[in-house]
Chain A
Amino acid sequence: MRQFLTVVVFTLLTIGFFAGYSNFGIPQIEPAPPPKEEKLDLGSMTMDGFIALGERLFNGKGTCTLCHNALGRAPELATVGEVAAGRLKDPRYEGEAGTVEEYLTESLIDPSAFVVIGFGKKGTNDTESPMPNVASGGIGMSVAEVAAVVAYLQDSSGAEVTVEIPQDIGAQEDDGEEDESEPREAIGDPKELMALFTCDACHMIGGEGGEVGPDLTQIGASRDRDYLRRAILDPNADIAEGFEEDMMPEDMGEAMYVAELEILLDYLAGLK
C-alpha cells in the first residue's frame, strides 16, 4: 500500500510539475480570437445600399478586381448583364442556370460552368476556369454577400436588378485581419517572403507569375535599391509604363519586418 501511494504521489507530482511549468514557467499569451462574424443588418437595407455593399465586396474582400480589370486577365464585366442571356444558350454552357441572376450566382460559385473563350486554364481548352469559388475558404463570401455582388454586377452592367435582398440568412463579414493580429515569425528567404505576400499573383519572375504588375525577372538591371524600396513602400509614387495605378497594396511597409524588406531588396536588386 505504501508503494502504491508513493507511485500515486509521484505521478501527481510529475503531472503537477508539467502543468505548473506550462502555466507559470512560460508567458501566457492570449491567442487572437477567431475573426468576428458580424451580422449584416439586411432587414433595414435598401436596394441601393445592397448594391453598394456588392460594390465594396467586388473591390475589397472579393479581390475580383485583381483579374477583372482593364488589363484583361479575366473577362470584362461591364456588359455581363447583357451577354449572360446569350451564354445560357451557348452549346459550351455546362451549368444549370435559367436566368441571368442564376447564371451570375453560378459563375461566382462554380466558375467552370461557362468559360469565356481565351480565359480558361492553360491546357484545358477553355473548359476549366482559373477563378476560385468565392464562397470557399480563401475568399469566404456568404450567400448574402454573393447576392450583393450579383446585384452590383447587374446594376453596373446596365441590366435590370432582379436580386432580392435575402432576409433570413445571416451574413458573415470577416474582418480579414486574423493573420496579422498574431506576430509572425520573420522570414529570411526572399522567395518565401514573396510567396507569403503573394507577389507572384501580379509579378512575373523567370516566366512564372501574373502580368498585372511589371515583370521582375531582371528588375535589378534597370532599378536600384532606393527605387525598389520606394516602389514597395509607396507603390503609386511612380507607375511603370503600361501599368495601372492603385493595383499594388500600399500596406507592405506595415506587413513586412524591416529586416525582411532589406532581404527582399537585396534579392530584387540582384535580379539582373
Chain B
Amino acid sequence: MDTKGYVRPFAAALVVFVAAFLLLDTLIMNMQGLSLIFDK
C-alpha cells in the first residue's frame, strides 16, 4: 500500500470531512425555527 501517496491524504481528508459533516449536522439539527417547521 502506498502510504504516502494514498493512505495519508485519505486519512487526513476523512477526518476533515467527517468533522465538517458532523458540524453541519449539529448546526442544522439545532437551528432555530426547525422545530417550528416540524413540530406540528
Chain A residues within CB distance 8 Å of chain B:
191-192, 195
Contact = CB atoms under 8 A, between A and B. Distances in A.
B11 to A, nearest CB: 40
B38 to A, nearest CB: 11
Interface in B5-40: 39-40
Contacts, number: 3
Interface of B: 39-40
3 contacts: A191-B39, A192-B40, A195-B40
Secondary structure of the A side of the interface? helix
A191 B39 CA distance: 9
Contacts of B40: 192, 195
Contacts of B39: 191
3 nearest A-B residue pairs (beta carbon): A192-B40, A195-B40, A191-B39
A195 B40 CA distance: 9
A192 B40 CA distance: 8
A193 to B, nearest CB: 13
Nearest to A192: B40
A192 B39 CA distance: 9
B6 to A, nearest CB: 44
Contacts of A191: 39
Contacts of A192: 40
A33 to B, nearest CB: 30
A261 B38 CA distance: 23
Nearest to A195: B40
Nearest to B39: A191
